[in-house]
């Protein structure tokens, strides 16, 4: 039995593509943009697509016969990004994290995978981790750039993997609060990390690319990735609107190779636990 994934803020399906390559199965999507929903329907025919995270509930998913083991998603970054006004989680768009957290509490998945820009480290990181801890989830995190898996651009992003834990906050909560205001990690190194139990985690434990098995997985994924330059908008009238939609969707998408690497790490941990 494979892990069933609920893909929130799905975009064009980068998260699901990577997790399915790792061996998971997409149970449902939730995406508000019509263009992206059309892309998802084309590539995942038969997989339900909900249109608004604010109205989606565990009760609705259960009524539709959808079970969930993993919730993944990169919630909107506009209020967090350094290119925005810095409203953080109080902003209208990035504030949708609250509905993400609500669904985690309602569904109680085994794993949660969160993606956002590195600026989340000082614009709401403590709140995100605090919400996860309050729900009883431990968390591990790291900034991983797309270039770490061979992409011709950096695209540095913060990745958080949470799993059901003790729910104790203590030293962890103080550590999360202390992280507010720190600069993002951009060079592949990291300060000591911590989970909801207050136990320190070294970088090799948190960053799969730094562990020997993770390096091997990363090399395998990189070697078979056919990276190409992103398409440009031609200076012609015909077809430009669709081209703009495509470029915006690509710009908002996650690089599938990183969710694949994370998904493989989760499944390997599950296999070790089962053994």
Total residue count of the chain as it appears in this document: 275
**% of the chain surpassing 70 pLDDT:** 71
Ranges 78-82, 90-94, 152-156, 178-182, most confident: 90-94
Rounded distance, CA 190 to CA 85, Å?
27
Inter-CA distances, 65 with 41, 48, 59, 86, 104, Å = 19, 11, 10, 39, 18
Say yes or no to pLDDT of 73 above 50. yes
Instruction: Write out pLDDT tens, residues 52-62.
Output: 999 999 999 99
pLDDT of residue 154: 82
Summary mean pLDDT of the chain: 78
Q: Are 110 and 6 in contact (CB under 8 A)?
A: no
Structural domains of the chain, with CATH: 4-274 (3.40.50.150)
Which of 180, 178, 173 minimizes the C-alpha distance to 197? Answer: 173
Rounded distance, CA 206 to CA 154, Å?
20
Rounded distance, CA 3 to CA 20, Å?
10
Say yes or no to pLDDT of 252 above 90. no
The residues annotated as belonging to the active site are: 77
Helix (H, G, I), strand (E, B) or coil at 253: coil
Strand 4-8 relative to strand 70-73: parallel, antiparallel, unpaired?
Answer: parallel
Mean pLDDT computed over 243-264:
83
Q: Are 111 and 73 in contact (CB under 8 A)?
A: no
Say yes or no to pLDDT of 133 above 90. yes
| Helices within the chain (DSSP H only) | 14-22, 34-43, 58-63, 97-107, 125-134, 170-179, 203-206, 212-223, 240-252, 257-274
Instruction: Write out pLDDT tens, residues 187-212.
Output: 333 333 333 343 333 333 334 443 44
Which of 36, 22, 28, 24 minimizes the C-alpha distance to 6? Answer: 28
Rounded distance, CA 68 to CA 26, Å?
9
Strand 25-30 relative to strand 4-8: parallel, antiparallel, unpaired?
Answer: parallel
Rounded distance, CA 110 to CA 273, Å?
13
Lowest mean pLDDT segment, chosen from 119-123, 150-154, 260-264, 266-270? 150-154
pLDDT of residue 108: 97
Count of Cβ atoms closer than 10 Å to residue 180 Cβ? 13
Say yes or no to pLDDT of 172 above 50. no
């Amino acid at each position: 039995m494979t892990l069933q994934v609920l893909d929130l803020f799905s975009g064009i399906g980068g998260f699901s593509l990577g997790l399915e390559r790792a061996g998971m199965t997409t149970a449902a999507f939730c995406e508000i943009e019509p263009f992206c929903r059309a892309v998802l329907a084309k590539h995942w025919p038969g997989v339900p697509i909900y249109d608004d995270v604010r109205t989606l509930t565990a009760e609705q998913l259960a009524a539709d016969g959808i079970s969930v083991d993993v919730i993944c998603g990169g919630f909107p970054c506009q209020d967090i990004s350094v290119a925005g006004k810095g409203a953080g989680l109080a902003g209208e768009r990035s504030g949708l994290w609250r509905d993400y957290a609500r669904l985690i509490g309602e569904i109680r998945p085994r794993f949660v995978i969160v993606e956002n820009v590195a600026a989340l480290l000082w614009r709401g990181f403590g709140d995100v981790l605090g919400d996860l801890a309050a729900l009883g989830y431990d968390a591990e995190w790291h900034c991983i750039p797309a270039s770490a898996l061979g992409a011709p651009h950096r695209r540095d992003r913060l990745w958080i993997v949470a799993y059901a834990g003790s729910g104790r906050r203590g030293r962890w909560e103080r550590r999360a609060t202390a992280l507010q205001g720190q600069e993002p990690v951009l060079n592949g190194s990291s300060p000591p990390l911590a989970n909801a139990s207050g136990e320190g985690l070294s970088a090799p434990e948190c960053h799969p690319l730094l562990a020997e098995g993770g390096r091997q997985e990363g090399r395998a994924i990189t070697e078979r990735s056919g990276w190409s330059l992103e398409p440009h908008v031609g200076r012609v009238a015909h077809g430009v609107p669709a081209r703009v939609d495509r470029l915006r969707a690509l710009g908002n998408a996650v690089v599938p190779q990183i969710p694949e690497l994370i998904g493989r790490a989760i499944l390997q941990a599950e296999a070790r636990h089962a053994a």
